[in-house]
Amino acid sequence: MVKMAANEEKQQGHRPGVYKQKNKGHKHGKHRTKGEIERENKGRVSVTTLTKKQRKELGKMDRRHKANQLRKTKKDQVLMEKRRLGSRDGPPHLVAVVSLHANADAGAVSKLLRGEGAGGVVHLERCVSGVGDSFGLIVPRFKQRFTFLNQSTDDMHSLLDVAKVADSLVFVLDSTEGWDTYGDHCLSCLFAQGLASHALVCQGLSDISVKKRVDFRKALSKITEVRFPDSRLFPLDSDQDATLLLRHLGSQRQRKLGFRSRRSHLLAERVAFTPNGPMEGSGGGGPSGLGTLRVSGYVRGCALHANRLVHISGHGDFQLSQIDAPPDPLPLNLTTVRATKPGRGRDVEMQDGDESEAPVRVLMKADPSSRESLQVEAAVDPMDGEQTWPTEQELLDAEEARKNKRVMKVPKGTSDYQATWIIDEDEEEENGETDEESSDDDDGDDLMDEAMDGEDEENHSQETGSQAASEDEDDEEEEEEEVLSTERGGADQRYDDNMDEAAEEEGLKRYREARSHELFPDEVDTPLDAPARIRFQRYRGLKSFRSSPWDPMENLPLDYSRIFQFQSFERTRRRILAEAAADEDGAMDGWYVTLHIIDVPVSVMESVQSGKPLVLVSLLPHEQKMSVMHLLVQRHPSNTEPIKSKEELVFHCGFRRFRASPIFSQHTTADKHKMERFLRPDAPTVVSVYAPITFPPAGVLLFKQRNDGVQDLVATGSLLSCDPRRVVLKRIVLSGHPFKINRRSAVVRYMFFNRDDIMWFKPVELRTKWGRRGHIKDALGTHGHMKCVFDNQLRSQDTVLMNLYKRVYPRWTYDPYVPSQLPWFKKEVTIEMDDLDME
């Protein structure tokens, strides 16, 4: 009994094990607050939480104070830049007056702004070199100074150059129509390049009656809001209106343009040229046409360093020898201010800005050891190629070819060396065919062009024959037609005199090619007189255009040895732009300096003397070197003519303009990009071209020059990147017709015309226009019939296709010289109605 009681006591003291069921507690909806968690932890904090709180994360009030400080700093910086422009410490406010209508007078606007009633004092006449109607204006009432220049729209290059450096643009509109067709063309170019701060001015509203004046302003505002939705229209008919315009120009918010705010630029106000002596410069003597160009002007943008290269728009890149600091010709030091009647201005006495009174101070000289070089292309070493030892099979073939000597008839006395250069007729024919075939490998469209030309010539010959037969049969009818044609001969002859027949034929050919490409994209006819495996030997098939590999360093052209490449273009761009923004060594923004530019051709001075403005920009490191630049453009709506790939175009990229022959490709995120034969009107297109390196952002304009000198705007966009490793693949499509159709197989013909070509292209996958996929199984016969297997049964109206690809590159046709264009509105042909027979 005692033992049983002891066992019962032991059983009562049993404890549950680790596998005992534990039910979840009731969730009453309450959650612990941060304070409760901290009280329960009693100060114990993990290492990660302590690190985040103390080092990275700030408290609520600290975050608020930091945001307020950043906001205040940004606001002060914007206000300082805004107040600095046109003040004593900054450069004068550069304003360009542009007329957008043939009836609008920009000279009358300038005359009203420089009048005494506007409140300004004209201190300088012809202050911009090369521009006749320009003046410097000081407004004591606003404590600001301006530089006004009237820029004509006849020279588009000069208009774009001035718009790149101008702080504000004043557009003069017509009181009824606003702007004309050519004015709209100028606005398209300016918007695509990057439009600075602007103001809209209209004259002639005061001449309209008071009842109709409101309606005229509403109609004009409705016209302008299409291009300028948030801009205010300023009437300019009195001195009070001129004062309001000056106040608006001096206080309006400045729009930043990325391509000029990151580079130092300058508009030449005084230019002098000194030819090189007999022992000076790299050009030798004075007869070489080189010399030193001294350009004076206000530095704008970033700091200007003497060791950097400068680019003169339209002329090229040059080096600096030194930078001088002459006296400011437009100072804002007011010694005496005497108020006069309201609206009559003020009499101001200012310091004389003549450079003869104060000596010119040398600001800095270029260091030849650290100065940027003018090297444009990389040094090409023809012996620096890949050298491989020949294989055993190649050695055996060479030995066999040496043993099999060729027996040929040669003139008596010919040596063995001379005999090797004599070619037999059969061999000459074979080599001629091979050379002709290889010369056309780069352009897959040549066969299509030749076929189309052949068909046109054949049709033309048939028409000529039929005309000759009809002439013999109907001589009397022809005489009657000649009599009738003489009545209209005068008007038709005058119309035909202004027509370029060669341009008409070229345009017709281009339209036919674009139409054929639109209906049958990338389709090419297989040649009958040459094997397809030789004609398309540079092409290859891809299992998947998206995922199949393509080595970007494979079979590069010789031109790639002349260009420069970045390991990481984006990282280099960020580093260089950050260094340029933080650089404070050199001539700062707002200083009036004189640049000594060495080895400049005399044509630059001739351009200035002809009345064109001179714009200089300091280049960033590496921006003088050549590489493969990619531009993202959109076709302009005004252009309707097809633009073919590898056609010469005129480029305006940032501060540069040049001519080149680009290639077009699709804008995708893949590692391979399909080439476009024509510039697409409905989608953005990437334009690849050999050009000097330019760091984005930068606006891009593409022009096409006619035979008469007029340049049409064809596309606008922006700079994309610099990447020689970007793979652009050209696609050709070989088509065949299903001859016999079975359940899963079909006999296809007309894709190839011999058995060897079929076996050569057998590994390439086939597809059809109706979505079937398959492959070649075997060749049937010797005339190009082949048995193909597909994933489903074909339809009788289906077409079998084979896609082949090869990598293409731009053509090295870079030319920095761009001729001046003529205004296209002056080249339009007008025909009087009296000259035409209205019958």
> Of all helices (H) and strands (E), which one includes residue 675?
strand 672-676
Q: What is the CATH number of the domain that holds 128?
A: 3.40.50.300
The count of domains in the chain is 2
Alpha helical stretches, state H, 583-722: 602-609
Contacts of 765 (CB under 8 A, 6+ apart): 541, 543, 773, 774, 775, 802
Q: Which two tokens stand for residue 400?
A: 């066999």
Given 241, 257, 273, the domain boundary residue is 257
* pLDDT tens profile 253-309: 888 888 888 899 999 989 999 998 764 544 444 446 889 999 999 999 888 999 999
Residue 712 has pLDDT above 60, yes or no: yes
Q: What is the CATH number of the domain that holds 794?
A: 2.40.10.190
Q: Which two tokens stand for residue 285?
A: 């003597």
Phi first, then psi, for residue 691 (nearest 5°) are -160, 165
- For residue 448, the model assigns a pLDDT of 46
Concatenating the DSSP letter of every residue in 62-110 gives HHHHHHHHHHHHHHHHHHHHHHHTTSSSS--EEEEEEE-STT--HHHHH
Q: What pLDDT does 385 receive? A: 56
Of 117-121, 203-207, 424-428, 790-794, the range with the lowest mean pLDDT is: 424-428
Does residue 194 lie in a domain region? yes
Helix-then-strand count for the chain, H and E: 21, 32
Instruction: Provide the pLDDT confidence category of residue 674 given band limits of 50, 70 and 90.
Output: very high
State the chain's mean pLDDT as an integer. 78
Report phi then psi at 587, rounded to 5. Answer: -75, 120
Q: Which amino acid is present at 66? A: K
Q: Cβ of 284: how many Cβ atoms within 10 Å?
A: 13
**Structural contact between residues 245 and 199, judged by C-beta atoms closer than 8 angstroms:** yes
| Structural domain includes residue 159 | yes
Torsion of CA 279, 282, 287, 293, to 10 degrees: -100
Mean pLDDT score, 334-360: 42
Residue 670's φ and ψ, nearest 5 degrees, are -80, 175
Q: Is residue 791 part of a domain?
A: yes
Q: 600 and 321 in contact (C-beta within 8 Å)?
A: no
Q: Lowest mean pLDDT: which of 165-169, 441-445, 765-769?
A: 441-445
Chosen domain end from 240, 257, 274: 257
Is residue 113 in a domain? yes
54 Rama sector, left if φ>0, alpha if ψ -120 to 50, beta otherwise: alpha
* Domain assignment present for 489: no
Q: Spell out the residues 6+ positions from residue 797 whose beta carbon is closer than 8 angstroms to its own.
A: none
Under the banding of pLDDT at 50, 70 and 90, the label for residue 69 is very high
pLDDT of res. 685: 94
Instruction: Tell me the β-bridge partners of 237.
Output: none
Tell me, what DSSP letter sits at residue 644?
Answer: B
- Residue 736 pLDDT exceeds 70: yes
Beta strand pairing status for 727-741 and 672-676?
parallel
Q: For residue 119, what pLDDT band results from cuts at 50, 70 and 90? A: confident
Distance CA(365)–CA(307), nearest Å, equals 8
Q: Which domain holds residue 211?
A: 81-257
Q: What CA–CA distance (Å, rounded) separates 663 from 680? A: 12
Q: What angle do CA 823, 826, 829 make, to 5 degrees?
A: 135
Distances from the Cα of 384 to the Cα of 321, 537, 558, 626, 747, angstroms: 36, 26, 12, 20, 50
What would the mean pLDDT of 392-399 be, rounded to a whole number?
78
pLDDT per residue as tens digits for the range 176-205: 888 888 888 899 999 988 888 889 988 877
Contact in structure between 738 and 798 (CB atoms under 8 Å): yes
Residue 196 lies in a domain: yes
pLDDT digits (tens, 9 = 90+) for 746-773: 999 989 998 999 999 999 999 999 989 9
Helix (H, G, I), strand (E, B), or coil: what is residue 158?
helix
User: Does residue 698 lie within any of the structural domains?
Assistant: no
Strand ranges (E), 706-799: 711-722, 727-741, 745-749, 766-768, 773-780, 785-790
Provide the token pair at 4.
């049983």
Query: Do the domain assignments include residue 576?
Result: no
Q: What is the DSSP string of 789-830?
A: EESSPPPTT--EEEEEEEE---EEEEE---PPPBPGGGS---
**663 confidence band (pLDDT: 50, 70, 90):** very high
Distances (CA, A) of 200 to 97, 179, 228, 247, 322: 10, 11, 9, 14, 41
Q: How confident is the model at residue 14 (pLDDT cuts 50, 70, 90)?
A: confident
pLDDT band (50, 70, 90) for residue 722? very high
Q: Are strands 615-618 and 265-267 parallel, antiparallel or unpaired?
A: antiparallel
Q: Which of 242, 257, 272 is the last residue of a domain?
A: 257
